[in-house]
Every structure is written in structure tokens, then in C-alpha cells.
Amino acid sequence: MEGIATRTYFEGLASGLGPYGFGGRSRRPPRDAPNAALSYGYALLLARAWLAVVLAGLHPEVGFLHVEGRRNPALALDLMEEFRVPVVDVTVLRAFQEGVLDPAQHFEARGGGVYLNEGGRKRLVRVLAHRLNQEVRHPDGSKRTTYAGMIAYQGVRLAAAVEGRRAYHPFFLEASR
């Protein structure tokens, strides 16, 4: 089911990123500019989620959704899932549509894949930092903070749930009313 949902999601994302070469999700190596931007954005988001998990006192390699294993930050990947769409996907889509990222100027082909060049990385880091500083409200109404703060908040809430002190409520974007 997850595979079907993922494929359907990325088919929908292709409607916005298709004009920039996106034909579906590819990684290791990314085959086009949007995939390169998504992969780089996910790596930056993972670092933030990993930090949130560790600061909350949890072990990043023991997860619920992702396969556990040595050097696989399963719990950080679990936490990251809540923020992929609102932080990375939305930002990458807007960056291409607004001309902040240009496949001809900010990417390079090498090693059988397509990667951000230095200028592209700087631009993506800048727009992701801007997105992480935007305010958002938790869907349960418990907190209003930036996306960066929300990632940390969810790490603390996850620790409380693991310790049996409270139920865990994931972060998600609410549908527009």
C-alpha cells in the first residue's frame, strides 16, 4: 500500500515538476534536476530530524517505520516523514516554478546522475532555511512555532510517547478550508 501511495504521490508531483525534467522519483543517482534537489533537501531535513531525535534523548537507529540497522537512522527517518512534503517538496516545487532553481544553471551531469552545482546548493539551502523559519501550527493546536521548531517539538513529543507519558500525534498539513 505504501508503494502505491508513494507512486501516486510522485505522479501528482510530476504535474508541477514535469516541465523541469521530473518524470518520477529517482535517486542514487538522481536522474534529473528536480530529483537532485529533492534528494539534497531530504538529506538536509534528515540531519535536522536526526538532531531532534538525539536531543530528545532517543536513539536514532531504533525506529518504528524504517528498517533498523547499524548506521541507519531509522527513528530520524521516521520523524522526517512528517516534514518531507511541507518542508522539502513544497520548497523544491516553488523554487523551480519561481525560477530560483534552473535546470540549465544550477545542476550538472556527472557520474551517471544529475546533481546540484555549488550555486544550486546555495540557492536551495537559502530557500529551505526560509521555509524552516516560517511559522506553522500543530494540527492538534498544541503549539505554534517555526517548521524548525516543530521538528524539535515533535522529537520531544516522540520521546514522551516512547516513555509512555503521552500519546503521539504526528504533524501534518491541514487541508485548506
Q: Does residue 112 surpass a pLDDT of 70?
A: yes
Q: How far apart are the first and last CA of the chain?
A: 28
Cell triple for 40: 539534497
Q: What whole-number distance in Å separates Cα of residue 162 and Cα of residue 157?
A: 9
CB 60 within 8 A of CB 72: no
Mean pLDDT of all residues in 98-115: 96
pLDDT tens digit sequence for 118-164: 999 999 999 999 999 999 999 888 889 999 999 999 999 999 999 99
* Distance, CA of 127 to chain centre: 13
pLDDT higher than 60, residue 49: yes
What backbone torsions phi and psi does residue 135 show, to the nearest 5 degrees? -80, 145
State the average pLDDT for the chain.
91
Query: Residue 29: is the preceding peptide bond cis (ω within 30°)?
Result: yes
Residues paired with 145 in a beta bridge: 136
| Residue 177 scores a pLDDT above 50 | no
pTM above 0.85, yes or no: yes
Which of 48-52, 116-120, 166-170 bottoms out in mean pLDDT, i.e. has the lowest?
166-170
Q: What is the DSSP string of 58-118?
A: --TT--SSSPPBTTB-HHHHHHHHTTIIIIIIHHHHHHHHTTSS-HHHHEEEETTEEEE-H
* pLDDT above 90 (res 5): no
157, with CB counted inside 10 A (0-12, 13-18, 19+), is buried
> What digits encode the pLDDT tens for the residues 24-47?
888 889 999 999 999 999 999 999
Please give the average per-residue pLDDT across 3-11, as a whole number.
85
What number of other Cβ atoms are within 10 A of residue 24's Cβ? 14
